[in-house]
Structure 1
Amino acid sequence: MRSFYQVAGIHGLPYTTYDGVTGGDKEYHNDTDWETGRFGGYCHHGDVLFPPWHRPYMLLFESLLVEEAKKIASQYPDNEKEKYVEAAKQLRHPFWDWADIKAMEGVPKIFTSSEIEINTPDGKKNVKNPLKSYTLPVDLSYPLEKGQNPTDKPNYNAPNFTYNPYTPAGYPTVRHPNSNYEDQTDLLNSNMSVYVPTVFRPGIYQMFHISNFLRFSHHGVNSDDTQSGNIFSGHPHPTHPAGMAHFASIETTHDDFHLVCGGLGGHMSYVDLATFDPIFFFHHVNTDRLLALWQGIYPDSWVPKTIELNGSYTDELYKAIDENTDLTPFRKTKTEFWKSSDVTDIEKLGYTYLEVEKFKGQDPQKIKAYVLDLYKPDPHYGRRFFVKLTIKAGKLDGPYSIRVFIDLPDANAQTEVTSPHFAGLVSMWSSTKNHVHDNTFVYGTVDITAAMERLNIRTQVRDPLHEVNTTTGQLGALWIFNVEKDINIVPVLLNGEGVSPDEAGVTMIEVFTFEHDKVDPNFLDENSGKYYGSKKF
């Protein structure tokens, strides 16, 4: 139960009981519940428990890490033992901030080197790097067609993303695997150089403007704060600006990193398999850090009462959830489970983050100013432009991404994301064809301001006499761009194949502008946006 395999298996596959925690006669059954759309792992995605559920998960992993460290520390020679015993007591699991500006240089070598040198109780040794990959002790998932399994290398082809890749016993986890089932680190680093400034940093920057936990916590919320599935919400009339807070949720940007890190066939790209890649835990400790920073800014907002639409190994579909819902399978005692209400204060849980500690007891606006400065996408302030996508889930098997290009009508799946016309993307990580409830929509936004500036598409009012409606005071949309012609949506599968917006479930794109940092610093949380047109598919 304390093995890496068992702990990683809590999240998704192999859909088995952990620590004896089941849903009784209502637990997940692979042959039946999958057809209804119920998820087979314990984890929560697409509901308000996404951030708090992963906190005790990281605590469990960290506690086991510290326990192992203490055992190893006691084995050092007497002249070294004291410092290692003390270090083990202080040890906490590190995070990797993949949205830091330095992340544009690529993934740190500690995650990609085949071997590392460590000072063991028996002296310095070169060892296989445990952070690069994890070798499966048993088969994970099921064999696919010939050519799509690791055993078929050197003619391995990453499988269609409809299926979880098969990993036989004795084979490692991979990232962006090639035909020989080896990591393509150069490709991964290239992706980081593109997506850090265009996706990760803008997403986090927007996220910290959201003061409502419902909107902050996950992407499955409509403009009127109902959960996705209400077909009539999220489609505001052109004369009524829409609140956009929830479109930049912590879960949305978290999803983007999973896809960028894993690639087609890489474990991090698949909900059921992601935890078996050791980098998952560095990713999620960072996600917990972002949650802790957000809590420092908005200490009075926490888990509201809502509905669990995806279900889990222990929870049925449509179960009512709130801050007192059990975060299974994490036991607080032999008879009680941790709840979201138990994990609000990280200091009481035995840890903190340097930035949280630095601003402890200070005005929340100070930590907000710090975070916004840390993650500001670019030096531009004033008017920012966003493309909002409304996507019907379940029309296409995920994961896939929907790229947004500006002023490039012929953009397609082969158009490089290094193009100056590329503005960003929205990820559909776990949408599964025919396994999603009717009228379930995902909403995402892409900040296109930087792309507009690169292309010299102006973003400011220059000529009020000719460009501003003298009745409404608003800038005419066509003076900026034509939504029908100048914004191109390109859905792309993980294998690089392009599909149409309709096939990908895109039903509408809309353009909004916001004035912030001058007029309304909380622009994403207040209905202060201006509507600039739409296009339906």
Structure 2
Amino acid sequence: MHFERFLSPGLLAVLAVAGVVEAKFSLSKVTSGVDQQTGARPARRNILDLQNDLPTWSLYIQGLTAMQKVPEDDLLSYFQIAGIHGRPFYAWDNYEKDPAAPLAGYCTHFNLLFSIWHRPYLALFEKILAGHVQTVAKEYNSQIYQDAADNFRIPFWDWAAIPSIPDVVAAPTVNINTPSGPKDVTNPLYQYSFQQFPLNDTWFPSDQDEKLSTYPATVRCPNPEGISDPAQASRGLAANQLMKYTYAVFAQTKEYNKMATGAVAGVSFEYIHNVVHYSVGGGGGHFMAGHMSAQTYSAFDPIFFLHHANLDRLVALWEAINPDQFLTPAVDGSGTFTHPIGENITVSTPLTPFTTDDGVTPYNSNTARYTKFFGYSYPEIQDWLPEQTPEQLAKNVTAFVNTAYNPTMALSARNSARDTAQNGQVREWAVSIRGLNTALSAEGYVVDISLNNSHVGEMVVIAPPKAAVAAGLNTTTNHVIDLSEELGKVGVDTQDVGAVVEYLKANLGSSVLKADGTTIPSTQVPSLSLIVDDIIVTLPKDITELPSYGTRTPHSDITL
């Protein structure tokens, strides 16, 4: 038991000074570039933008390269930071395993802490990387490069806007400006090469996680020869309607718990995030083809931090639109390295292994709630401006979301329904899916929804760690598949309930793809729930509003 969690921060600090409690790595915010007068903070930038800023791009590539070269037994090495998320399942910074917790990483997948836990995790990565960037900048003896270093924050990859692997991430080499001039260098975004290979079989057992322990470097959608196939990853990303369902979270989800985790019914950022992992790592008949597909290995792939920076950005945008919403207590069905399954989650639950700037007290959801606590922002959120009241910020961010992720307003008015709306309202149709993560033991699976034998959408259930399954993992994956768009394409009036019900009875289908590539009827998956429902949607009046979704009405007479 971590007795420190029951003591006050002040007493902990006193005990740390006295040597009773061991001081830990202090995750204080990055302060360089922050205007102490106005509170203005440097933004994490889109990697497609950052690559065109030669000084910052050059520092980023060299800083990440330096971080990846730090010996793997160093607490602040790339290997150790990546290992916080999943394997090698040992204590980081002396945050020891709870004896009652499953043998897993510290990451909080499948529970309410998912979104907030990754905020200090990214901040830790950013703080360490920023230190390397500062060291590199000094070699230039240039104010331009020093300013770039001061304003450096990690970039994000907006897969919702452009669902493909960025070229600069898929190239083995990149061109940068080094202190000695332009040069082609090894691209640290392409892969991480393990310094000690073969991997330690105790930490990376060869009988688990498919073939991942056999690769000397991270791979994405590998072919049979173990070579990454970024084109295949991009095809997978493009096929999964990431923009559509990203917008659906903003439009349909108004409660923090539902936004934050796929373990709660509805559409969530965690679920969309899962799809990106699965698409980049590789799926099909081999669910852990590449490192991003496995929760236990994913953080070793450098694209992980670009992916999660975008996820944090989407969460921050949602928070700006819904500033009064926050985590409400619930039971943890998944557990982590330091949290047993069945523990009650509150805003005070420690976000281990991240320690506040007193060097003793772990972060919790309250102390990690806002991006300003860590010294960064995003281009769309300039919350320090005098005119940015919470109400105005919410409107501005909503306008951005509508422009970026629903550019034609098509996603808030299926087919021609907007033109025939009664009192500004339309009816939409969907399949709500809930799948037990352990339905096939430690095997992942995909629930496929079809209309007229044509694929409409799917829900991916990523395989949970075997140790978590053995410890009693009790969580679900949830998603909502839209049917209105496809119904419109075949000429069915989505506002005519009777017509839709009869059509879906005759033409809607489902199946489940197992990890071994075989397909089985959805009825053979224990506890799988597939519910067709309709919902009344009030359309927005202008770009500063989102659609308003009512209560879903289930149609139990439509079976899949």
What TM-score range do you get, normalising by the shorter chain? 0.7 to 0.9
Q: Which amino acid aligns with 1:176?
A: C
Structure 2 Cα separation of the partners of residues 142 and 376 of structure 1: 47
Q: Which amino acid aligns with 2:436?
A: K
- 1:16-415 to structure 2, matched below 5 A, reads 16-23=90-97, 26-27=98-99, 38-76=102-140, 78=141, 81-100=142-161, 102-103=162-163, 106-138=164-196, 139-140=198-199, 142=201, 163-168=209-214, 171-195=216-240, 198=241, 200-208=242-250, 209-221=252-264, 246-264=265-283, 265-332=289-356, 333-357=358-382, 360-361=388-389, 362=392, 364-376=394-406, 379=410, 381=413, 382-396=426-440, 397-408=442-453
Instruction: Give the direction of change, closer, same or farther, for the CA distance of 1:316–1:250 in structure 2 (3 Å limit).
Output: same
Structure 2 Cα separation of the partners of residues 268 and 438 of structure 1: 21
**Map of 2:62 onto structure 1:** none
Q: Judge conservation of contact 2:192–2:300 (CA < 8 Å) in 1.
A: yes
- 1:346-372 deviations in whole A, cap 9, x for unaligned? 123211111112794215244224313
Instruction: Give the direction of change, closer, same or farther, for the CA distance of 1:509–1:479 in structure 2 (3 Å limit).
Output: closer
Shift of 1:384: 2.2
Instruction: Give the direction of change, closer, same or farther, for the CA distance of 1:363–1:166 in structure 2 (3 Å limit).
Output: closer
Q: Judge conservation of contact 2:335–2:473 (CA < 8 Å) in 1.
A: no
Q: Which amino acid aligns with 2:354?
A: F
Instruction: Give the direction of change, closer, same or farther, for the CA distance of 1:252–1:303 in structure 2 (3 Å limit).
Output: same
Q: Which amino acid aligns with 1:288?
A: D
Q: What SS class does the counterpart of residue 401 from structure 1 fall into?
A: strand
Q: Judge conservation of contact 1:402–1:489 (CA < 8 Å) in 2.
A: yes
Q: What SS class does the counterpart of residue 154 from structure 2 fall into?
A: coil
Instruction: Give the direction of change, closer, same or farther, for the CA distance of 1:206–1:524 in structure 2 (3 Å limit).
Output: farther
Structure 2 Cα separation of the partners of residues 330 and 96 of structure 1: 24
Structure 1 Cα separation of the partners of residues 92 and 546 of structure 2: 42
Structure 2 Cα separation of the partners of residues 40 and 113 of structure 1: 32
**Map of 1:427 onto structure 2:** 460
Shift of 1:343: 1.8
Unaligned runs of 5+ in 2: 1-74, 284-288, 414-425
**Map of 1:236 onto structure 2:** none
Structure 2 Cα separation of the partners of residues 312 and 479 of structure 1: 43
**Map of 2:512 onto structure 1:** 491
- 1:65-104 deviations in whole A, cap 9, x for unaligned? 110001011112x4xx22111111100000011010x33x
Structure 2 Cα separation of the partners of residues 122 and 342 of structure 1: 43
Give the root-mean-square deviation of aligned CA atoms. 2.8
Q: Say which is worse superposed, 371-380 or 259-268, in terms of deviation.
A: 371-380
Q: Judge conservation of contact 1:115–1:126 (CA < 8 Å) in 2.
A: yes
Percent identical among aligned pairs is: 26
Q: Judge conservation of contact 2:492–2:499 (CA < 8 Å) in 1.
A: no
Q: Judge conservation of contact 1:14–1:140 (CA < 8 Å) in 2.
A: no
Structure 2 Cα separation of the partners of residues 345 and 290 of structure 1: 13
Q: What SS class does the counterpart of residue 555 from structure 2 fall into?
A: strand
Instruction: Give the direction of change, closer, same or farther, for the CA distance of 1:300–1:174 in structure 2 (3 Å limit).
Output: same
Q: Which amino acid aligns with 1:443?
A: N
- In the superposition, the TM-score normalised over structure 2's length comes to 0.74
- In the superposition, the TM-score normalised over structure 1's length comes to 0.77
Q: What SS class does the counterpart of residue 503 from structure 2 fall into?
A: coil
Structure 2 Cα separation of the partners of residues 165 and 531 of structure 1: 42
